[in-house]
Amino acid sequence: MAPQAHADSTRSQQWHLDAMHAEEMWRTSTGQGITVAVIDTGVDPANPDLKGRILDGKDLAPAERPGDEHTDYNGHGTGMAGLIAGTGAYGGGKGAFGLAPGVKILPVRMPAPSDINGFAGPSYLSKAIRYAADSGAQVINISMTERLNSPELADAVKYALSHGSLIFAGVGNDGAKGNPVEYPAATPGVVGVAAVGKNLRRTSESEFGQQVDMAAPGDEMVHACGGRTGLCKGHGTSDSTALASASAALIWSKHPTWTNNQVLRVMLNTIGGPTDGAKRNDSIGYGIVRPRIALKDPGDPGPADVYPLPDLAAAASPSPSPKSSDPKGGSGSVPDKNTPAPSAAKDDGDGGSGKLWTALGAGAVVVLGGAAVAFVLVRRQRSAGRLSREQAATAATAYLNTVAYPDRAGTVTALPATGTPYAYGWTFQFDFAPYPQTTTPTNASSAYVIVVPHSGATPHFPPAHLPTAQYMEMCAAGVQPSVQSS
* Residue 216, burial from CB neighbour count under 10 angstroms (0-12, 13-18, 19+): buried
> Which residue among the candidates 126, 143, 238, 331 is catalytic per the annotation?
238
> Which residue among the candidates 29, 40, 283, 324 is catalytic per the annotation?
40
Q: Contact at 8 Å (CB) between 461 and 451?
A: yes
Question: Is 59 considered catalytic here?
Answer: no
Q: Give the C-alpha separation, 460 to 404, whole Å.
A: 9
What pairs with residue 429 in β-bridges? 449
CB contact set of 250 (below 8 Å; sequence gap of 6+): 25, 29, 30, 31, 99, 100, 291, 294, 295
Question: Is 29 considered catalytic here?
Answer: no
> Which residue among the candidates 16, 21, 70, 76 is catalytic per the annotation?
76
User: Which residue, 48, 119, 58, 99, is CA-closest to 78?
Assistant: 48
Q: Contact at 8 Å (CB) between 122 and 152?
A: yes
| Chain Cα centroid distance, residue 31 | 21
Element housing 90 (H / E): helix 90-93
Q: Contact at 8 Å (CB) between 133 and 165?
A: yes
Question: Is 238 considered catalytic here?
Answer: yes
- Return the DSSP state at 402: I
Provide the Cα torsion 47, 50, 51, 53; round to 10°.
-150
User: Which residue, 311, 278, 310, 284, is CA-closest to 207?
Assistant: 284
DSSP of 407-424: GGTTSEEE-GGG-EE-SS
Give the active site residues: 40, 76, 238
